Chains A and B, each alone.
Chain A
Amino acid sequence: MTTGSPLLTVRNVTKRFGGLVAVNDMTFDVKEHEVMGIIGPNGSGKTTMMNLISGALPVTSGAIDMRGHLLSQAPTHEIARLGVARTFQLVRVLPGLSVIENVMAGAVFGHRRRWGNEARFFAEALLERIGLGAHRHQPVSSLTYIDQKRLEIARALAGEPAVLLLDEWLAGLNPTELQIGMDLVASLRGEGRTVILVEHVMDAIRSLCDRCVVMNSGRKIAEGAPEDVLSDAEVIRAYLGDE
Chain B
Amino acid sequence: MNGKDVQSLTAIVVCIIAAACFPFIADGYWMSIGVTAMMYMALATSWALFSGPTHYISLATAAFFGIGGYLVGTGMSDYDLSFWLMMAISAVVATVLAALIGLATLRLSGVYFVIFTLGLAEMIRNLVSWVQNNFLGSRGLYVLTDFTDADIYWMLLTVAAAVYLLGWLINRSRLGFALRIIGNDETVARHVGINTAWSKVLLFMTTGFFAAIVGAIIAPRYSYIEPNLVFKPELSFLVVIMALLGGAHRLWGPIVGVIPFTLLWEAISISFPNYTTLLLGLAFLLIVYFIPRGLIGLIEDLVERSRA
Query: Looking at the complex, which of B183-191, B201-209, B223-231 is the stretch in contact with chain A?
Result: B183-191
- The residues of A that contact B191 with a CB separation of less than 8 Å are 54, 56, 76-77, 80, 85-86
A77 adjacent to B195 (CB under 8 Å): yes
Asked whether A56 lies within 8 Å of B177 as measured between CB atoms, the reply is: no
**Contact of A94 with B184 at beta-carbon distance under 8 Å, contacts A80-B192, A109-B192 already known:** yes
In the bound complex, CA of A188 to CA of B190 (Å): 24
Whether A13 sits at the interface, judged by CB under 8 Å, is: no
- Using A92-B188, A96-B183 as known contacts, say yes or no to A105 and B177 having CB atoms under 8 A apart: yes
A61 vs chain B, min Cβ distance (A): 23
Most buried by A among B178, B189, B190, B191: B191
Q: Which residues of B are found within 8 Å of A108, using beta-carbon distances? A: 174, 177, 192
B194 / chain A contacts, CB cutoff of 8 Å: 77, 109
Most chain B CB inside 10 Å of its own CB: which residue of A105, A110, A159: A105
Partner of B190, one of A80, A94, A97, A110: A80
Given the complex of chains A and B, what is the CA–CA distance between A206 and B114 in angstroms? Answer: 51
Instruction: Verify A77–B193 contact, CB threshold 8 A.
Output: yes
Asked if B105 CB lies within 8 Å of chain A CBs, one says no
CB neighbours (8 Å) of B196 from chain A are: 77
Residues 98 to 137 of chain A near chain B (Cβ within 8 Å): 104-106, 108-111, 113, 115
Contact between A111 and B193 (Cβ–Cβ < 8 Å)? yes
| Shortest distance from the beta carbon of A158 to any chain B beta carbon, whole Å | 8
Contact in complex: B180, A97 (CB < 8 Å): yes
In this complex, what residue of B is CB-closest to A165?
Answer: B191
For chain A, residues 164 to 210, give those with C-beta under 8 angstroms from any C-beta of chain B. none
Q: Within the complex, which residue of A97, A104, A106, A115 is in contact with B184, where a contact is CB–CB below 8 Å?
A: A97
A11 interfacial contact with B, CB 8 Å: no
Alpha-carbon gap, A85 to B192, bound state (A): 7
Q: Are A81 and B193 in contact, CB atoms less than 8 angstroms apart?
A: yes
Which of A56, A85, A97 gathers the greatest number of chain B CB atoms within 10 Å?
A97
Point out the residues of chain A lying under 8 angstroms from B178, CB to CB. Answer: 109
Which chain B residues lie closer than 8 Å to A97 at the CB level? 180-181, 184
Q: Does A43 belong to the interface (CB within 8 Å)?
A: no
Chain B: interface residue count, which band? 10 to 19
Q: Specify which of B183, B184, B193 lies most central, judged by the most chain A CB atoms within 10 Å of its CB.
A: B193
Contact with B along A52-73 (1 / 0, CB 8 A): 0011100000000000000000
Q: Measured between C-beta atoms, what is the minimum distance from B151 to chain A in Å?
A: 41
Query: Which B residues are in CB contact (< 8 Å) with A55?
Result: 190
A15 at the interface (CB under 8 A from B): no
Residues of A within 8 A of B181 (CB): 94, 97, 105, 109
Residues of A with C-beta under 8 A to B184? 94-97
The verdict on A211 contacting chain B, using a C-beta distance below 8 Å, is: no
| CB atoms of A109 and B180 under 8 A apart | no
Question: Which residue of the partner chain B has the closest CB to A115?
Answer: B174
On chain B, the residues within 8 Å of A111 by CB distance are: 193
A150 / chain B contacts, CB cutoff of 8 Å: none
Q: Which B residues lie within 8 Å of A219 (CB)?
A: none
Report chain A residues within 8 Å CB of B187: 56, 92
**How close is B197's CB to chain A, nearest CB, in angstroms?**
8
A149 within 8 Å of B by Cβ? no
Chain B residue, CB-CB nearest to A110: B193
CA distance A54 to B190 in the complex (A): 10
Residues of A within 8 A of B192 (CB): 80, 85, 105-106, 108-110, 155, 159
Q: In this complex, which of A86, A95, A104, A108 has the most chain B Cβ atoms within 10 angstroms of its Cβ?
A: A108
Chain A residues within 8 Å of B177, by CB: 104-105, 108
A51 to B: closest C-beta gap in Å? 10
As a 0/1 sequence over residues 39 to 55 of chain B, the CB contacts with chain A under 8 angstroms (1 = contact) are 00000000000000000
- CB contacts (< 8 Å) of A109 on chain B: these are 174, 178, 181, 192-194
Q: What's the nearest-Cβ distance from chain A to residue B116, in Å?
A: 22
Shortest beta-carbon distance from B94 to chain A in Å: 27
**CB closest residue in chain A, given B55:** A96
- Cα(A76)–Cα(B194), bound, Å: 9
Return the CB mask of B242-285 against A: 1 if under 8 Å, else 0.
00000000000000000000000000000000000000000000
Residues in B lying within 8 Å of A, measured CB to CB: 174, 177-178, 180-181, 183-185, 187-196
Please list 10 pairs of residues, one from A and one from B, whose beta carbons are closer than 8 Å in the complex, sorted by A's number: A56-B187, A76-B190, A76-B191, A77-B195, A81-B193, A94-B184, A97-B184, A109-B174, A109-B192, A159-B193
Binding site for B on A (CB under 8 A): 54-56, 75-77, 80-81, 85-86, 92, 94-97, 104-106, 108-111, 113, 115, 155, 159
Q: Given A94-B181, A104-B177, 11 other A-B contacts at CB below 8 A?
A: A75-B195, A80-B192, A94-B185, A94-B188, A95-B184, A96-B180, A97-B180, A108-B174, A109-B192, A109-B194, A159-B193
8 nearest interchain CB pairs? A80-B193, A109-B193, A76-B190, A94-B184, A81-B193, A109-B192, A96-B184, A77-B195
